Structure 1
Amino acid sequence: MEPEAEIIRTQLFALRDETYRTFHSALMPTVPPETVIGVRVPALRRLAKQLAGTAQAEVFLQALPHGYYEENNLHAFLIELIRDYDRALAETEAFLPYINNWATCDCFCPKVFAKHKKELLVPIRRWLDSGEVYTVRYGMEMLMRYYLDDAFRPEYLEWAADVHSTEYYINMMRAWYFATALAKQPDAALPWLTEKRLDLWTHNKAIQKAVESRRIPPGMKQLLRGLRSRS
């Protein structure tokens, strides 16, 4: 390990919270507990801001694969702070193959992506077609984050629906995507449920998440409850 990366690891261990480590490890069954240090997210974000743009951070970003969960999250937060779109995209694509859990996958999004929605659609399609669990999940997350408001187009619902997988963490994100679409684009999203265009598991899970959401009005929730299916 490069000395700069070793120094960062030492900093992470200095921020360790053993109680949090025990709690958070239980939420990530795909992550070996011995690879979790136990650093809370606000502390990781503060460290990322301190390191951003430094030579030490540049070395750290090249030090893949990392050995600890928090090193991966710090890596993600450093990518978030990159202001150049092409560089942020390149670093994101270099990092995605090393993500091994939902928490790291869902925790980061380079801020500069919001200014390049048209260009971002190209890598999103590539991520959705990759076949890699967390790369697919990340692509769907970006589709949910940036393309359910002013940039929405009905075909994006088809992009999400066309991802067929037996992987739990992909299917959960797809259900989350459709539940969010029901809140933000109900006219376009609701027919996917009323016409039962989704697979049974995603159909029912999307309804469950929508019914649990505060963004869905009571009348819509009542309708959705009646759409639950057993076949």
Structure 2
Amino acid sequence: MELIKTHWTDGDYAEFRGYLRSVSDEKYRAFHISLVPGAEERIIGIRIPTIRKIAKEIAKGDIDSFLKCSCGTANEEIMIEGLVMASRKCGCGELIRDIFRFAGKIDNWAVNDVVKFPMISKYRREIADVTDKLLFGSGPWHTRYGLKILMDYYLDDEYIDFALEKTAAVRSEEYYVYMMQGWLLATAAVKYAEKVFELLESGRLTSDAAAATMGKMRDSRRISAADKDRVQRIRNRIAKGTKGGNTDA
């Protein structure tokens, strides 16, 4: 199918949906279904490099008409829509609109974690001002995407304190939220280990987020052996404290 179009119609999009199924991989579909519980009916079975290649081709044509026609509910369709949306050069207002449009379609980690909006780099201050609407607004997938934005664009000298403060402020028992907190903080620890350890030892993280962070740090090849030992000492202290608390009870 020709993916570079000067104008997309509803008929083109219907053809596109058929095309996606023609490039699916049944073995990959079965594997991906095992990783994304509850999404079986929405997984076509297309590998991520192929998804990115398709989105890149579409973005060479008329993006606006493609997005107007985009109405799919399959994981891969939403990923492609997000990647195409994220590829365009736009102003800050349009960028914010697109971020929230994409975030509103996320309902699993696979869709959440594929799409980055490079234009955020140009408008970091403005996007920072609206992160609360993602982090503390409309459910776990908005929160996870807000955390992913912090991880992708705010772990540097200028914004590290902001990113850590916002991450610590998230209080959630949702698995995919606190695991994202752990991923973000373990990533931050590569360059800002002392700041992350200070946060871990402050008691400001939820127990789930702290455990996820320490687990991710322990498993990371980018964390030094000395820092992994320090993580283990903190884990041991927490474990002893928990046992002591149970004994007193």
Q: Same fold (TM over 0.5)?
A: yes
Tell me what 1:78 maps to.
84
Tell me what 1:104 maps to.
111
Q: Which runs of 5+ in 1 are unaligned?
A: none
Matches of residues 52-67 of structure 1 in structure 2 within 5 Å? Answer: 52=59, 54-55=61-62, 57-63=63-69, 65-67=71-73
Q: Which runs of 5+ in 2 are unaligned?
A: 1-8, 243-249
Q: Which of 148, 152, 161 lines up with 1:145 in the alignment?
A: 152
Write 1 or 2 for the structure with the bigger share of helix. Answer: 2
| Residues 82 and 88 in structure 1, CA contact (< 8 A), matched pair in contact too | no
Tell me what 1:219 maps to.
226
Tell me what 1:13 maps to.
21
Q: Which moved more, 1:93-102 or 1:144-153?
A: 144-153
Describe the shift of the 1:153–1:50 C-alpha distance in structure 2 as closer, same or farther (beyond 3 A).
closer
Tell me what 2:6 maps to.
none
| Residues 5 and 59 in structure 1, CA contact (< 8 A), matched pair in contact too | no
Q: Which letter does structure 1 place at the counterpart of 2:74?
A: Y
Describe the shift of the 1:123–1:181 C-alpha distance in structure 2 as closer, same or farther (beyond 3 A).
same
Query: Equivalents in 1 of 2:162, 2:42: separation in Å?
Result: 40
User: TM (normalized to structure 2)?
Assistant: 0.85
Shift of 1:88: 3.2
Q: Which letter does structure 2 place at the counterpart of 1:94?
A: R
Partner deviation per Cα, 1:145-173 (whole Å, 9 max, x = no partner): 11112332424312111111121111111
Q: Which of 66, 69, 77 lines up with 2:75 in the alignment?
A: 69
Shift of 1:140: 0.7
Q: SS where residue 104 of structure 2 aligns?
A: helix
Q: Which of 30, 46, 50 lines up with 2:53 in the alignment?
A: 46
Query: Equivalents in 2 of 1:65, 1:227: separation in Å?
Result: 48
Query: Equivalents in 2 of 1:193, 1:72: separation in Å?
Result: 35
Query: Equivalents in 2 of 1:63, 1:99: separation in Å?
Result: 18
Query: Equivalents in 2 of 1:115, 1:157: separation in Å?
Result: 21
Partner deviation per Cα, 1:27-68 (whole Å, 9 max, x = no partner): 11141x12211111111111111111534x434423465221
Matches of residues 104-143 of structure 1 in structure 2 within 5 Å? Answer: 104-143=111-150
Tell me what 1:190 maps to.
197
Query: Equivalents in 2 of 1:135, 1:65: separation in Å?
Result: 20
Q: Which moved more, 1:123-132 or 1:71-80?
A: 123-132
Q: SS where residue 35 of structure 2 aligns?
A: coil
Q: Which of 141, 166, 172 lines up with 1:165 in the alignment?
A: 172
Report which of the two structures shows the higher radius of gyration computed on alpha carbons: 2
Q: Aligned residues: percent identity?
A: 29
Q: Which of 198, 204, 209 lines up with 2:211 in the alignment?
A: 204
